[in-house]
């Protein structure tokens, strides 16, 4: 059986050969090295190793093509990004439900899953023509929903689903990647120690590139991972508007432990009981870093919403967001109300999980998050 190699030079050569391009830009090699070491040194089984190697190769190909497009079309750099709206908060706190609801407003330029994964333009594709890469990705998601209904219940995805913009950051070889790598060494420690200025500069260029391909009125974006980079996000987009969702961390951490475990066990050997403390520390630290950056920023850039309100009174939450950020809510309210009615909580099945399975207790979580729950008067579930 052939061994799966994570040799960086071999992967770089394959990406060059596939694209006919050779300029990867600067600032990515250290992150690439840490990522490859993590894939090499952790107990991924052979299918997982093969999947990881293919993923890195695809990211290198994307990077080459993105930088080539930016170089050949310098006008992309001039595209303005005005008052983007961001949804963030600890994972499993209602960010996806709220993001999907806000995306029902057609004036919102929400990032779609397929373009987050394939941001580079397809040369020769006429304006407005369907992109064949989107259809291929949707076929793979259809298979995945049949094979992993448990994951679909937790995070239902199609090619056109509004998706986390953290996926765009993968080809920077920085960021949280798939959410698995930051739970592993050495990538996890390396990521925490990095400044994110360069990451957000590259990310902003990707948004401009996508807007150049498929223009929109205003960006609507979402990711809990932005808690790590609130300072850099606001430095990059000074007029950004941030909707911050809140939930009882006991429920959030139990849910994200289950989601992370499901992602990991498809590709590697991992004991649930040893995973919980790592997940808890990662997301608690992200929240602490995000709140510290928020305390230094203009408070008018933020609005807090509760998970319970998102699930029970979604349109009241929407009206509050539009009012806070000075955007009139007119005829688009009908589309938003229709989406809220059509997508009740649990529509794709219920996600069951127990905190104790992951080596944690409610007391451990509450103690770590005590300053947060007291500051925002978080209601226990």
Q: pLDDT higher for 133 or 299?
A: 299
Q: What is the pLDDT of residue 11?
A: 98
In this prediction, residue 198 carries a pLDDT of: 96
In this prediction, residue 153 carries a pLDDT of: 58
Q: What is the mean pLDDT of residues 47-58?
A: 96
Q: Is the pLDDT of residue 126 over 50?
A: yes
Q: How confident is the model at residue 28 (pLDDT cuts 50, 70, 90)?
A: very high
Distance of CA 169 to the CA centre of its chain: 9
pLDDT value, residue 1: 37
CB 121 within 8 A of CB 72: no
Query: Where in the chain are the domains?
Result: 82-177+210-375
Q: What is the pLDDT of residues 68-87, one digit of tens each?
A: 999 999 999 999 999 999 99
**Residue 178 pLDDT > 60, yes or no?**
yes
Strand extents, DSSP E, the chain: 85-89, 108-110, 218-222, 241-246, 302-306
The phi and psi torsions of 330 (rounded to 5 degrees) equal -110, -125
State pTM to two decimals.
0.92
**Helix %, strand %, coil % for the chain, to 5?**
60, 5, 35
Residue scoring higher pLDDT (263 or 10): 10
- pLDDT tier, 152 (very low <50, low <70, confident <90, very high otherwise): low
CA nearest neighbour of 216 among 84, 331, 118: 84
**End-to-end alpha-carbon separation of the chain, Å?**
50
Q: Degrees (nearest 5) of the Cα angle 367, 373, 374?
A: 100
The mean predicted confidence, pLDDT, of the chain is 92
Which CATH class name applies to 82-177+210-375? alpha beta
Q: Which whole-number Å values give the CA distances from 109 to 94, 185, 261, in the listed order?
A: 20, 36, 32
pLDDT in tens, 330-359: 888 999 999 999 987 655 445 567 899 999
Give me the mean pLDDT over the 170-199 stretch: 96
Q: Determine which of 22-31, 69-78, 231-240, 343-352 has the lowest per-residue pLDDT on average.
A: 343-352
């Amino acid at each position: 059986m052939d061994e799966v190699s994570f040799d960086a030079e071999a992967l770089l050569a394959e990406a060059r050969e596939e694209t006919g391009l050779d300029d990867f830009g600067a600032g990515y090699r250290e992150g690439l090295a840490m990522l490859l070491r993590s894939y090499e040194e952790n107990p991924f089984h052979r299918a997982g190793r093969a999947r990881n190697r293919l993923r890195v190769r695809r990211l290198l190909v994307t990077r080459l093509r993105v930088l080539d497009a930016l170089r050949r079309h310098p006008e992309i750099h001039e595209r303005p990004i005005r008052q983007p709206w961001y949804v963030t908060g600890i994972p499993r706190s209602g960010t996806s439900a709220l993001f999907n609801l806000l995306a029902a407003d057609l004036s919102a330029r929400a990032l779609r899953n397929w373009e987050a994964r394939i941001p580079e333009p397809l040369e020769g594709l006429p304006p407005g023509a369907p992109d064949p890469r989107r259809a291929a990705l949707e076929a793979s998601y259809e298979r995945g929903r049949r094979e992993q209904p448990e994951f679909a219940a937790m995070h239902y995805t199609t090619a056109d689903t509004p998706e986390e913009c953290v996926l765009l950051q993968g080809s920077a070889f920085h960021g949280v990647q798939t959410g698995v790598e930051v739970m592993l060494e050495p990538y996890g420690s390396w990521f925490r120690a990095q400044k994110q200025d360069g990451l957000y500069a590259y990310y902003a260029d990707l948004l401009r590139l996508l807007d150049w391909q498929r223009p929109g009125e205003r960006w609507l974006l979402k990711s809990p991972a932005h808690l790590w980079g609130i300072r850099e996000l606001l430095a990059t987009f000074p007029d950004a508007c941030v909707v911050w969702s809140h939930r009882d961390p006991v429920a959030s951490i139990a849910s994200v432990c289950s989601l992370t475990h499901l992602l990991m066990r498809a590709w590697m050997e991992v004991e649930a009981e040893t995973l919980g403390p790592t997940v808890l520390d990662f997301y608690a630290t992200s929240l602490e870093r995000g709140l510290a950056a928020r305390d230094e920023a203009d408070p008018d850039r933020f609005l807090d919403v509760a998970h319970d309100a998102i699930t029970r009174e979604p349109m009241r939450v929407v009206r509050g967001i539009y009012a806070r950020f000075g955007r009139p809510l007119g005829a688009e309210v009908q589309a938003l109300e229709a989406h809220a009615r059509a997508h009740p909580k649990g529509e794709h099945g219920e996600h069951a999980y127990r905190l104790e399975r992951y080596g944690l207790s409610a007391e451990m979580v509450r103690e770590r998050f005590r300053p947060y729950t007291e500051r925002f008067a978080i209601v226990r579930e």
